[in-house]
Structure 1
Amino acid sequence: MIKPRRLVNLSAGGLSAMALCLVAMLGTSITASADEADAKRLLKAMSDYVAAQQVILFDYDAILEVVTKDEQILALASSGQVTLNRPDKILATRSSGFADVEMSFDGKTLTLLGKNLNLYAQQDVPGTVDNLVDELRKHNRPLPAADLLLADPYEALMEDVVDVKDLGSGVIGGVECDYLAFRKKDVDWQIWIAQGERPYPCRYVISSKSMDGQPEYSIQVRDWKTDDEVAATDFSFKNPSGAKKVDLKALEGADELPKHFQIGGAK
C-alpha cells in the first residue's frame, strides 16, 4: 500500500520536474515530427468527406469555458444532436442545466424554441446553411460545430492560419484519430479526425488568445451517421406544445450562458 505521505511528496516535490520533462519532450517531438503538408492533407480529406455527405446526423457533448473577473475558469457543459440536410435544412438541439433549446431551419425560416420556457422566436433567413451560420453569429447564437458543417470547411478553418502541426494520433470515444493543431492570431484550435474511410471530426477545440485565461470551447462528436443511416426528418416547425411566440431579442434563457452570467470584455 502507498502511504498518503508518499502521495503528498510526489505532488509537492516531483510534479514540477515531471511537468518540465513533459514540456521538453513535447517540444522535441513537435519539432521532429511536425509535417505541415500532411496535416493540411488530412484536414482537406476530412473537409471533402464531410462536404460530400448530403445528410449528416450526430450527437455531441460540448464544453464552453468562461473566465470570471477573479480569473476562475468555469466549464458549462451541454449535449445535443445535429441533423443536416444539404444545402438548406438543419435541426439542432442543445440541453444544459439552464436551457433546453431546439433550432430548426427549413431553407426559409429559422425557428428557435426554448422548450423549458415554452417560448419560440422566428426569423426569415432564406438561403443555405452557410448563410444561416452567418446570420446566427450576428445574433451571438452559434450553431454547434458550425465551421465543420459549411459547404467548404477547409476554406473556413484555414483562413488566417499561421502555424500547422501534425501531432500524430489520439483516441476519442474509442475511435483512433489523427490529431492536428493550428494557430491563428487570436485563436488556437485543434481537431481529432477519425482514421479510415470515414474521416469525420471526432473532437474540435478552440482556445481564445484574446481573452484572459484563454478559455476554450470544445465539442465531441458521437454516433456519426450519414445518408441512408439517417431517418427522414421534418425540418419545419410544428409547435406541438403551444409555445408562445416572442421576438428573437426577447427569447431570454435560451443562450449559451445562464442569466446570472454577465459578459465582460476581452483583454
Structure 2
Amino acid sequence: MSIATRSCRTLFIALTSAGALVSATAFADDASAVDPQAIKALSAMGAKLRSLTDFTVTSDSTTDMVSDDGQAVQFAHHTVLSIRRPDRMYASVKGDDGTKSMYFDGAHFTLYGTKNNYYATVPAPSTLRDLITDIHDKYGLEAPLVDLFAWGNDDERVKALSSALTVGDERLGGQICTHYALRQEGVDWQIWIRKSADPLPCKLIVTDTSNAARPQHASVLTWQLKPVFKPGLFQFKPPKGARPIVFQTNDASAPASAN
C-alpha cells in the first residue's frame, strides 16, 4: 500500500450555497492564474512559521492509503508537535495502530512505538533544520507537519505552481481564515491561513493527482504560541519493558545504532 503524505496537495472546492455558485464561475475563469496575493499570503505564513521559537501545534488529520488494486482507505491521526528552536522537538502521532513518538534533545533522535513497545536511538545533528534532512536521507523518516515549515525557504516551490487562487474568507474553529487553492504538476492543494497578525495555517488539504485514486490528506491545525513545556519533554526515557532496536538505513555504508 502507498500513502499520500507530504508529496500530496489538494484542490477541493465545496459548493454549498447559491452564492458559492458565483464564486465557482470566477474560480473556473481564473483556474490557470497565479494570484500575487495568494503567493504573498504563503510568503507571510512562511515568515511567521520561521519566526516561531517555542510553540506547540496540534493536528487532527485523515490520510488515504491506496491498495495495489487502487482502492483508497482512510485513516485518522491525532498529532502533537512541540518545538523549542533551534534544537528541541517532541512529536506524538496517535492512531488505531498505537502511538509513535519522536524525541530530539539536541544530540540524539529517538523513535518510540507503543504498539510493540520498541525504540531506536541514533546520534543526531545539533539543529532541527539539519535533523529533518538527516533522518529523511538516512532512514526515510519525516517529522510530522514538516512540510509547513519549508515555505519561503525555496523559491522553486513558488515557481512550480501553475495556479494559485484566493477563494475567500471562511470561519474555522471560531477564527477567520482565508482560503487559497493552488496547483502544481501531479498535485492539487488548498490551505486556509489565519487572517490576523499571526498568519498561521488553520487547515490543509492535499491530493495526489498523479494517482487515479486521488488519495487525499486533510489536517485541521491548532496553535499554542506560548506553551509551558514539562521538564524532560524532549528527552526520551524508555518505559518499563521497552526494547531497543536498530534503524534500517537507506545507506548500508552508514549503519544506525540503538541504545
TM-score range, shorter chain: 0.7 to 0.9
- Measured against aligned partners, the alpha-carbon deviations of 1:41-89 in whole angstroms (never above 9, x if no partner) come to 1111111111111111021112111223443321111102100111222
- In structure 2, what residue type is equivalent to 1:141? L
Describe the shift of the 1:56–1:174 C-alpha distance in structure 2 as closer, same or farther (beyond 3 A).
Answer: same
- Measured against aligned partners, the alpha-carbon deviations of 1:14-57 in whole angstroms (never above 9, x if no partner) come to xxxx99x9997554222369771111111111111111111110
Hey, what does 1:54 align to over in structure 2?
Answer: 53
Hey, what does 1:89 align to over in structure 2?
Answer: 88
Hey, what does 1:231 align to over in structure 2?
Answer: 229
Higher Rg? 1
Q: Structure 2: how far apart are the matches of 1:81 and 1:192?
A: 19
Which structure exhibits the higher relative contact order, with contacts defined as CA atoms closer than 8 Å and separated by 6 or more residues?
Answer: 2
Describe the shift of the 1:178–1:40 C-alpha distance in structure 2 as closer, same or farther (beyond 3 A).
Answer: same
Q: Structure 1: how far apart are the matches of 2:110 and 2:159?
A: 30
Quick check: 1:243 aligned with 2:242? yes
Match of 2:248, SS state, is: helix
Describe the shift of the 1:211–1:41 C-alpha distance in structure 2 as closer, same or farther (beyond 3 A).
Answer: same
Match of 2:91, SS state, is: strand
Shift in Å at residue 190 of structure 1? 1.3
Hey, what does 1:7 align to over in structure 2?
Answer: none
Q: Which structure 2 segments of 5+ residues have no match? A: 1-14, 250-259
Instruction: Report matched runs for 1:180-219 at 5 Å.
Output: 180-219=180-219
Q: What TM-score does the superposition give when structure 1 sets the normalisation length?
A: 0.75
Quick check: 1:29 aligned with 2:26? yes
Hey, what does 1:179 align to over in structure 2?
Answer: 179
Say if 2:125 and 2:134, in contact at 8 Å, map to a contact too.
no
Match of 1:141, SS state, is: coil
Question: Quick one: percent identity of the two aligned structures?
Answer: 25
Describe the shift of the 1:44–1:105 C-alpha distance in structure 2 as closer, same or farther (beyond 3 A).
Answer: same
- In structure 2, what residue type is equivalent to 1:230? V
- The CA RMSD measured in Å over matched residues stands at 2.9
Say if 1:62 and 1:217, in contact at 8 Å, map to a contact too.
yes
Q: Which structure 1 segments of 5+ residues have no match? A: 1-17, 251-267
Per residue, is there more helix in 1 or in 2?
A: 1
Shift in Å at residue 97 of structure 1? 0.3
Q: What TM-score does the superposition give when structure 2 sets the normalisation length?
A: 0.78
Query: Where in structure 1 do 4 or more consecutive aligned residues deviate above 4 Å?
Result: 21-27, 32-35, 150-157
